[in-house]
A and B are shown apart, each in its own frame.
Chain A
Amino acid sequence: SQQGEEDPQALSIQEGENATMNCSYKTSINNLQWYRQNSGRGLVHLILIRSNEREKHSGRLRVTLDTSKKSSSLLITASRAADTASYFCATGRIDRGSTLGRLYFGRGTQLTVWP
């Protein structure tokens, strides 16, 4: 499968703690993206890291990418109750014979942040 696989499937923490989610994948990629989905809503893009980048920051988010291990991690620092959501990694690539970039999604990590 070309999908990313997130680990853990569920994570429960207290406000103020850091949350770390991991993503592993099997094929070569052009980029890896993280999305958030609040219950009953659509996905919202959080951050994109290119295959030639190792680390990227955006506010309280830190993403790392290790292409040799085919893995990525998303760190949310100082978590808040509002961070409660499902988080998905998606690997971006252009398939052979196509000119259109596609995303392959994992099954997600359900993060619960308790007040």
Chain B
Amino acid sequence: NAGVTQTPKFQVLKTGQSMTLQCAQDMNHNSMYWYRQDPGMGLRLIYYSASEGTTDKGEVPNGYNVSRLNKREFSLRLESAAPSQTSVYFCASRAGQGRTYEQYFGPGTRLTVT
């Protein structure tokens, strides 16, 4: 049982390049999330998916797109990377949609945009 896995672990992009961050969970969770974490900041929600086939914007969605490919996988795409997107990206999942469920986090992807 691997939990939440993310690939790649590290990535360096040039401004304007595109890439997709992959996330998968093997806990049969319905809900999945993408966050970014910047120095001195808490996690900020980029996009989330309540269930397969649905996605919604979080606090900081500009410059990103997502795909909930199936129940296991939730990918984050940067179409044209900008230096402001340099950050650590975390994927998370949780069992239910209601109020009182904990989230399980992946190990993160460290992205640098030059």
- Chain A residues engaging chain B, CB cutoff 8 angstroms: 3-4, 30-31, 33, 35, 40-45, 48, 50, 88, 92-94, 98-103, 105-108
> In whole Å, how far is B35's beta carbon from the nearest beta carbon of chain A?
8
**Cα-based distance from A105 to B42 in the complex (angstroms):** 5
Binding site secondary structure of chain B: loop
A31-B100 contact given A88-B42, A100-B56, A107-B42, CB 8 Å threshold: yes
> In whole Å, how far is A1's beta carbon from the nearest beta carbon of chain B?
10
Which residue from B48, B98, B106 sits with its C-beta under 8 Å from A42? B106
- Chain B residues engaging chain A, CB cutoff 8 angstroms: 4, 31, 35, 40-45, 48, 50, 56, 58, 90, 92, 94, 96-108
Which residue from B31, B48, B99, B104 sits with its C-beta under 8 Å from A93? B99
CB pair A100 B105 closer than 8 Å: no
CB-CB under 8 A from B101, the residues of chain A are: 101
> In whole Å, how far is B105's beta carbon from the nearest beta carbon of chain A?
4
Show 15 A/B contacts (Cβ-Cβ < 8 Å), sorted by A. Answer: A4-B42, A30-B99, A31-B100, A35-B105, A43-B43, A43-B103, A45-B103, A50-B100, A94-B98, A101-B100, A103-B45, A105-B42, A106-B42, A107-B41, A108-B42
Which residue from B41, B97, B98, B105 sits with its C-beta under 8 Å from A43? B105
**Cα-based distance from A11 to B18 in the complex (angstroms):** 40
